Amino acid sequence: MFSNSVRRKVAAAALACSLGVAGLWAGAAAAQTIVVSASGPSARSYPAGKSLAAGSRIVLAAGDTLTVLDSRGTRTLRGPVTTSAAASATTANPSFAALVATQNRRRARTGAIRGAGEAAKPSNLWYVNVASEGTVCVTDPAAVGLWRPDMEQAETLTIAPATGGSASAPFLVGQNVTTWPASLPIAEGASYVISGGGLAKPTRLRFALLPAAPADPAGTYAALDAKGCDAQKQLLIGALKSPD
């Protein structure tokens, strides 16, 4: 049998190891800076989706424009400039927490954001935009909300799975958001066609599941990018724009 002193040493070593691993993960998450877009002479050095280490330098020439997403939101840099890839020193964007919130979405009646001169957009990243085709990422398959841009009329959508059959999703007057039909299961790769309800043409979408909602903007962008959820990536970027 081991002595108490040996047991204490082993326990201390295990704790140090676990804390070290946790620290590495936390450091990696905090350090993550992702390229959103780039143009100009240096654009080839900064392809969209590239992850920049916190200790690395960003070097831009005259005519370069680089937009990056980090733990605090988006920022746009214009050359000539040399700067760090670490997160910008601005305050955290308060829009992010609301954008990725997963509580009480099934009870929501309205949920739209609209900038000056812009079309309405979902106020939550996990809403299914009935007018947007492509892959949609969700974190909670049992609590998915359908979102429409226009809420002036009562309308009913028809949702048809690739396997056959269909279900209805009604919207009331003044309602942007309604609940996804419980009779239609949401699973990885499940495909559906949404029609009716004032849509100009049927909308085809495919679901992708995320095990959990990432805790920061850069991690969220990376998760959406890995699944091909392009419309949600653009929604995230637009909601987290910060001054240059």
Q: The CATH number of the domain where 110 resides is what?
A: 2.60.40
Q: Quote the domain boundaries for residue 69.
A: 31-84
Predicted local distance difference test score (pLDDT) of residue 16: 37
Output b/e per residue, 105-121; b: 16+ Cβ within 10 A: beebeebbbeeeeeebb
Does residue 59 sit in the same domain as residue 137? no
Does residue 62 sit in the same domain as residue 133? no
In a domain, 130, yes or no: yes
Measured from the Cβ of residue 40, the count of other Cβ atoms closer than 10 Å reads 16
In a domain, 56, yes or no: yes
Closest CA to 187 of 138, 226, 145, 222: 138
Does residue 69 sit in the same domain as residue 117? no
The tens place of each residue's pLDDT in the chain, 244 residues long, gives 444 443 444 334 333 333 332 332 333 344 478 888 899 999 999 998 888 887 788 999 999 999 888 877 788 899 999 988 876 544 555 678 888 886 544 444 555 555 555 677 898 999 999 999 999 999 999 889 999 998 889 999 999 998 889 999 999 999 999 999 999 989 999 999 999 988 989 999 999 999 887 778 888 898 999 999 999 999 998 888 765 5
For the entire predicted model, the pTM comes to: 0.73
Predicted local distance difference test score (pLDDT) of residue 28: 36
Does residue 124 sit in the same domain as residue 76? no
Predicted local distance difference test score (pLDDT) of residue 168: 96
What is the count of structural domains for the chain? Answer: 2
Residue that the structure tokens 């009935």 belong to: 130
Does residue 124 sit in the same domain as residue 162? yes
